[in-house]
Structure formats: structure tokens, C-alpha cells
């Protein structure tokens, strides 16, 4: 049960954006340089974050990406749910499992899912960049 690099990389990028919150947009090459990630791969992650309304972008020369809300109002949970396409650790949590009532293990996944989200929703981007 590993987090994919999408989640890890994307969160790093979000930290970078948070660090410069209020200073205008950061370009893709800049973010890639700071985080040491491939531009083209990172671009795809940023497009997901944008689709989910966590960041926004301006196009054209001197354009770039920026947070859509203040760092203290964005949780790590939101970011990871966006990048990982949900944090459901088993499929039956997303689709509605029709064996829910008889399944002996369903309760485990649902409890764990709740705990994971509670934990991650309790951490804001601001905490990360300010070192708690």
C-alpha cells in the first residue's frame, strides 16, 4: 500500500507554490527546478490539481501557476485525494459494493478510510512550509 509518486511529487510542488504564496505565479520550469522533477511529468500533475480547483494558472510569457486559496486553507488531504484520484484503499469503497452487508472485511476498509482522511485533512499546507 504505497502512495504513488504523483502524490509525493505533487505535494512537493504544492509546497513550493505555498512558499511563494502572494508573490504571483511560478513557472513550470521554475517549480521543476526547485523540486528536481521532470517538467513534462510535473505538468501533468499540475493539470490535475488545476482541474480540481486547488491551483490556477495564467498563460503566455511570464505566466505560471499559483494557489487558488491561502496555504492555511488547503489541506494535505485535498491535495492527495486530487492527485491519487481518491484515497479509497479498496475499490468497493468507491463503487457501491453489493456485498457490503455480508462482507466481513468491509468494515475494516471503511474505518481505515475514515482515519486516513481525518489525519490528512488535519494537516494544512501552511504547517508544512512553516515547519509545524
- Residue 99 binds which entry of DNA, its own copies, none, with Cβ cut-offs from 5 to 8 Å by kind? none
Question: Which of 113, 30, 27 minimizes the C-alpha distance to 77?
Answer: 113
* Contacting residues toward its own copies, per CB under 8 A: 1-4, 7-8, 11-12, 15, 76, 80, 84, 87-91, 104-105, 107-109, 111-112, 115-116, 118-120, 123, 128-129, 131-132
Kindly state the smallest distance separating residue 28's Cβ from DNA, in Å. 3
Please tell me the distance from the alpha carbon of residue 33 to that of residue 101, in angstroms, as a whole number.
50
User: What's the CA gap between 62 and 57, in Å, rounded?
Assistant: 11
Q: Nearest-CA neighbor of 5 among 80, 87, 116, 115?
A: 80
Which partner from the list DNA, its own copies, none does 132 bind, CB cut-off 5 to 8 Å by kind? its own copies
Given DNA, its own copies, none, residue 77, with its beta carbon under 5 to 8 Å by kind, binds none
Amino acid at each position: 500500500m504505497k502512495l504513488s509518486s504523483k502524490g509525493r511529487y505533487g505535494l512537493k510542488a504544492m509546497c513550493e507554490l505555498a512558499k511563494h504564496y502572494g508573490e504571483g505565479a511560478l513557472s513550470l520550469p521554475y517549480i521543476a527546478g526547485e523540486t528536481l522533477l521532470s517538467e513534462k511529468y510535473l505538468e501533468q500533475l499540475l493539470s490535475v490539481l488545476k482541474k480540481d480547483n486547488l491551483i490556477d494558472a495564467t498563460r503566455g510569457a511570464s505566466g505560471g501557476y499559483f494557489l487558488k486559496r491561502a496555504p492555511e486553507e488547503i489541506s494535505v488531504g485535498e491535495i492527495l485525494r486530487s492527485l491519487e484520484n481518491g484515497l479509497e484503499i479498496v475499490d468497493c469503497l468507491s463503487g457501491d459494493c453489493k456485498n457490503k452487508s455480508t462482507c466481513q472485511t468491509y468494515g475494516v476498509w471503511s474505518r481505515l478510510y475514515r482515519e486516513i482522511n481525518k489525519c490528512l485533512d488535519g494537516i494544512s499546507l501552511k504547517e508544512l512550509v512553516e515547519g509545524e
